[in-house]
Structure 1
Amino acid sequence: MIRIHAIQTGGVWIRSRQREGFGRGTMRRVHTLLDRQWTERLPIWAWVMEHPEGLIVIDTGDTAKTAEPDYFPRWHPYFRLGVRMDVKPEEEIGPQLKGLGLSPDDVRWVILTHLHTDHAGGLHHFPKAEILVSRSEYQSARGTGGLLRGYLPHRWPDWFAPRLVDFSDGSFGPFSKSHVLTRAQDVILVPTPGHTYGHLSVIVRQDDHDVFIAGDTSYNEALMKEGKIDGVAPSDELAADTLRRIAQHCRTRPTIYLPSHDPDAQNRLATRRYVQD
């Protein structure tokens, strides 16, 4: 029996054109930064899976330290113009796990869809877990290059040394590569590049449906179904191809689609509401 919990680790405001991009290539990203309209406060979801093989956390949400004046690099245009965070200490994933009667020290695996701070900011709660991230994502996020791309590698814990995933287990449905995590073969990682080059998603196989934990492949289910890419994806083509593959998967098997900033994601999980054509 697999049980999945949705944990909201605070909220975030982004520019409306980040949620649904306008234009192509570099100009799409420029339009996002110049947009004057903010979204409503969006949730930052993390996911906790009680699995027979051990506790699994998918994304760690963010940290309350984002409220500190020097947490974000002031020279970076995105952090200065494009995002506002709202995370209280009690909203971090560690305290919320304890509220569920679970301990961060008992987590076996932490899977990161990607390494942006609103997905990796809670890493410090999991020093005893094995952490998985795609190899290409880790390489993109490191060092000065990572800072320029919008990551915060200088905020990672000193002990952070993830297991790098190369997706060597062959195809899985419409996805040409995969990585099977569990012995039961019911938790599968698939590459979903778009929002970042190394982005991955997690498919949880249940008896009669799948749960597709999607990170930032889109900001809500409707945008995925419409094939609308976001305003910061580094490659239009990769992002559009990923959305096509996800939609194809959802057509072939009943699927609950759970992006990280979709206000309706928790409700769809609780009511087992599948993607409809």
Structure 2
Amino acid sequence: MTNHNWNIYPLVLGEADVSKVLDTFWSLSREKTMVTVPILAWLLVPTFKETPILVDTGFRDANRCQDVHGLGPHRTKPEWSLHAQLKNHGLTVEEVRTVILTHLHYDHAGGCAEFPNAKFIIQRTELQAAAAPMVSKKLDFGGQALFYDRKDIADLVDPLWPQVQLIEGDHEVAPGVKCILFENTHTPGSQAVYVETEFGTAVILGDIARNVELNISQGIPPGLFYDLESTYRAMIRIKNEADIVLPCHDYEVVKKYGNGLKEGKF
């Protein structure tokens, strides 16, 4: 039997100061403090003959996160650039041929223009929602677009359009790597990435859940979602199917998996 296992590495592309209430639905939390979270991408490196895959691309510009989206402080530095983070693994942006976007929020889809040779795998429903978000323009944060950045989406629907691969529902990207649609969870077209590793199935969440202990282990939904029941059912499914859960805004996973995955449930 062919081994289709992958190694997975977190790439730190920036960080942000956010409220802890984002971890808990309807802000029903006694924890009201601010915390610093990383902005992560994930590098998938095959243990067999296949090309590496990148999941998500970070934000476009730290100042834009505050000025356009009305959010708190965001930071980056040269060693957190896509170029530098990929170089740590012996890769260049030109060598990346496949980028999976879990969803199209500003902190996940801001670096797409850095990849001249990549195809971008996106759920069709997500691109539709991002291009015409259902939101009042009176809202004074979120860029009047529910945290979709108009420049990111414009890149995808015009200069990068020939590189965009729209999918509908679950899709195998490569042996051992699947996109699983969790519709109307964090966003209308959010997808998780299921990856086969030597330690079992790892699931890269995007923002379907933010905090593994609260959202997955305890089943308390996160603060931002489209449909509560869809989100709750997604968390149950992920808990049942994942051996390793990888959120995109948790420094604990950077500490634990910075040098690659290790054995252990969640």
The SS at the match of 2:97 is strand
1:209 pairs with 2:211 = no
- Does structure 1 residue 8 correspond to structure 2 residue 12? yes
2:216 is aligned with 1:241: no
One-letter code of the match for 1:165? I
The residue aligned with 1:229 is: 221
Please list the CA deviations of residues 49-94 of structure 1 after superposition, one character each: whole Å capped at 9, or x if unmatched. 123321210011123x22258x743xxxxx32x5432122441222
From 193, 196, 199, the equivalent of 2:190 is: 199
Identity of aligned residues (%): 27
Distance 1:265 1:15 in 2: 19
Does the 8 Å CA contact 1:62/1:87 hold for their aligned counterparts? Answer: no
The alpha-carbon distance between structure 1 residues 234 and 123, as it changes in their structure 2 partners (threshold 3 A), is same
Matched, 1:47 2:42: yes
Preserved CA contact (<8 Å) 2:199 2:262: no
Secondary structure, counterpart of 2:35 in structure 1: coil
| 1:99–1:16 CA distance, 2 compared to 1 (3 A) | same
In structure 2, relative to structure 1, the CA distance for the partners of 1:202 and 1:155 (3 Å cut) is closer
8 Å CA contact 1:2, 1:50 repeated in 2: yes
Q: Which amino acid aligns with 1:100?
A: H
Q: 1:39 to 1:121 in 2, by over 3 A?
A: same
What's the secondary structure of 1:118's corresponding residue? coil
Change (3 A) 1:36 1:222: closer
Q: What aligned pairs does 1:1-277 form with structure 2 within 5 A after superposition?
A: 2-22=6-26, 37-51=32-46, 52-63=49-60, 65-68=61-64, 72-73=67-68, 79-80=69-70, 82-143=71-132, 145=134, 147-156=144-153, 157=155, 158-161=158-161, 162-167=164-169, 178-182=170-174, 185-193=175-183, 194-223=185-214, 224-250=216-242, 255-269=243-257, 270=260, 272-275=262-265
Scaled by the length of structure 1, what TM-score is found?
0.79
Deviations along 1:223-242, whole A, 9 cap, x unmatched? 21111112121211111111
Structure 1 vs Structure 2 CA RMSD:
2.5
Structure 2 stretches of 5 or more lacking a match? 136-143
1:266 Cα deviation after fit: 2.8
Distance 1:151-1:68 versus aligned 2 partners, 3 A rule: closer
Residue by residue, what CA displacement relative to the aligned partner does 1:114-137 show, whole Å, maximum 9, x if unpaired?
Answer: 001111111121121000011111
Given that 2:19 and 2:35 are in contact with CA atoms closer than 8 Å, whether structure 1 keeps it comes out as no
CA 1:143–1:66 in structure 2 vs 1: closer, same or farther (change >3 Å)? farther
Distance 1:68 1:112 in 2: 20
Could you say if the C-alpha distance between residues 66 and 159 of structure 1 is closer, same or farther in structure 2, counting changes exceeding 3 Å?
same
- The normalised TM-score by structure 2 is 0.82
Q: 1:68 to 1:213 in 2, by over 3 A?
A: closer
Contact 2:7 2:197 in 1 (8 A): no
Greater helix percent: which structure?
1
For the structure 1 residues 234 and 84, does the alpha-carbon distance in structure 2 shift closer, same or farther, using more than 3 Å as the test? Answer: farther
1:261 aligned counterpart, secondary structure: coil
